[in-house]
Structure formats: C-alpha cells, structure tokens
Amino acid sequence: MKPVSWRDHITGSPKVLYGKPVVKGTRIPVDLILEKLGYGHTVADILTAYPSLTEDSITACLLFAADSVKSDIIYNAA
C-alpha cells in the first residue's frame, strides 16, 4: 500500500464553496465524505455515488481530518 498525502488530494479556494476544503478537481467537500463515512457508508458506496473520487481521495479526507484535529481543535470536557 502506497502512502497517501492529503495535500495531493485536498484543496481550498475562495472561488469554490467559499473556501471549504474539497477534493481536488471536484466540488465535493471533505466534510461530506467524512459525514458519509461517519454514518456508515462504505468506501464502495461513496465511490459509486461519486465516481470522480478514488480510494486515495477518500483516504486523504480522513488524513486531512486527522491533521486538522491535531492542529486546531481543543476539547474541554466540562
């Protein structure tokens, strides 16, 4: 299995969905893919629904989310 860098698959531009992170070459936002995975959709389900995606682009969405959480989110359980 080759390593995937999310930077090769994810981009953001103010001209596309107001700068939300999307899969390069598409208007498919990263959060949509993450939400579908969270609700139990399989990678195969997502690839069928969005044929412009690849397994690597879906993996990149997960890696982007992991990097985002590591970098920006502070969780305070009160």
- Identify the H or E element spanning 59: helix 55-72
pLDDT the model gives residue 7: 94
Query: Pairing relation of β-strands 22-23 and 10-11?
Result: antiparallel
pLDDT in tens, the chain (78 residues): 678 999 999 999 999 999 999 999 999 999 999 999 999 999 999 999 999 999 999 999 999 999 988 876 555 555
Phi and psi angles of residue 3, each rounded to the nearest 5 degrees, phi first = -70, 145
Domain segments of the chain: what residues? Answer: 6-72
Query: Looking at the domain that runs over 6-72, which CATH code has it been given?
Result: 1.10.10.10
